[in-house]
Amino acid sequence: MNWKEFWRDPEKPKLSAYLDIFKSLGPGLIVAVGFVDPGNWASNIAAGSTYGYQLLWVVTISTIMLIILQHNAAHLGIVSGKCLSEAATAYMNRPLKNFILTTAMLAAVSTALAELLGGAIALQMLFGVPLRIGAFLMLVLSLYLQFSHSYQRVEKIIVLFVSLIGVAFMAEIFLVPVDWAAARSGWVTPVLPAGAMTVVMSVLGSVIMPHNLFLHSEVIQSQQFHLSGPVTIEKKLRTEYIDTIFSMGVGWAINSAIIFIAATAFFSSGIIVDDLAQAGNLLAPILGPLSADIFGVALLFAGIAASLTSSMAGGCIFAGMVGEPYDSADRHTKIGSLLTMIPAFLLILFIESPFEGLIWSQTFLSIQLPFTIFTQLYLTSSKRVMGRYANRPMTKVILWGIGLLVTFFNLLLLQDLFTAL
């Protein structure tokens, strides 16, 4: 297929085809929220303040793997009309399916913990709200937004928040003297400093988030393209890829910007940050008082948007376990969301170090990730599930490579942990 065929529907004028691509943007941006969430902030600030620009390559390789995985998850939703959880229920052995989807629910809880905690930290920074009260307010707000709005309204809210977060960090970038030579090297040169494996896995888990693979397939399948025939399916597969690349690219830029700020403001001054509020407060004397306020507002937006998507993902996974699609008005979706958000809030009540809680919540995601990747690989490679749109041999090789690489990183993490004992 040449570029002209890829970008255009040959039956439409060029401008109209480009407008179709633009209109398709949205589902990917909902997923992009997940990897510009407070857990990402903590992981990226830890990476930048401790190792400077050296771990930027983790953001790059994670984003490349993420684009491939998210497109593959969307592929499942477009072709089969089922999300990842529904497809696992329909086509996998029941005990195995239950085990995998239970670990996915735990990953959603881990994600929700980071989102509620990050939003609470922002409320504390901006308005002096106590951390646990802030977490409760975040819990109530996220559930209200999910259960009182249609998907279309929720999508607009989330896209707005992502835009505001992006603007906030682009503003911060203009306030810091970035070492662009070091940044370019860090993006493409794999370096693994001693003792960095926990931070590496935290960054990896905060970019490739298991619940996002479930959520992306759900958001896509909710539009029921599989009922419209092969022409619509193939057209959507083209435009969805653009949506994924664009949205994940936005996330890559924001994640890189956070590391830039941490490396420039903290690492170069010998400051190792272990608290998001501390990071915001330390920025003020270095970059001026406005920077701390921008940091806090962006963190709050990230917490609100990402807590909403993690709640939606929990509802999607649980509904899929009983063979149903996501529906914010349905009992199983509501139960799944509550089973995600309430345990996450209760865990926050026992966390002594919020920053460490954020880091380890993201590390847990990377540990669960191989289960989700290999489940997705099995389903999207099955002709019973995907028909003639099943993964091609090269796609299988790439997905196997990603799964094995993430598993290898997990083994390195376990080695580091046992060495530290």
Give the torsion sign (CA, 94, 99, 103, 105).
positive
Half-sphere exposure of 361 (CA within 13 A, CB side): 29
- Average the pLDDT over each of 150-154, 234-238, 347-351 and give the range with the smallest value: 150-154
**What is the helix, strand, coil percentage profile of the chain, to 5?**
80, 0, 20
Tens digits of per-residue pLDDT, 298-312?
Answer: 888 888 888 888 999
Phi, psi of 249 (to 5 degrees): -65, -40
- Residue range 307-326: average pLDDT? 93
Tens digits of per-residue pLDDT, 356-390?
Answer: 888 889 889 989 999 999 999 999 999 999 999 99
Half-sphere exposure of 134 (CA within 13 A, CB side): 23
Q: Which two tokens stand for residue 214?
A: 């479930």
Nearest CA among 121, 29, 23 for reference residue 308 = 29
Domain boundaries, the chain: 3-420
Residues 389 and 30: their CA atoms lie apart, in Å, by 25
Which distant-in-sequence residues (6+ apart) come within 8 Å of 375 by Cβ? Answer: 84, 88, 92, 100
* Residue 388 CB-density burial (10 A; 0-12 exposed, 13-18 middle, 19+ buried): exposed
Residue pair 52/178 in contact (Cβ under 8 Å)? The answer is: no
Residue pair 362/114 in contact (Cβ under 8 Å)? The answer is: yes
Tens digits of per-residue pLDDT, 146-176?
Answer: 888 655 566 566 667 666 766 777 777 777 7
CATH topology of domain 3-420: Amino acid/polyamine transporter I (1.20.1740)
* Residue 362 CB-density burial (10 A; 0-12 exposed, 13-18 middle, 19+ buried): buried
Phi, psi of 35 (to 5 degrees): -115, 25
* Residue 315 CB-density burial (10 A; 0-12 exposed, 13-18 middle, 19+ buried): buried
pLDDT value at position 58?
95
- Average the pLDDT over each of 47-51, 150-154, 185-189, 412-416 and give the range with the smallest value: 150-154
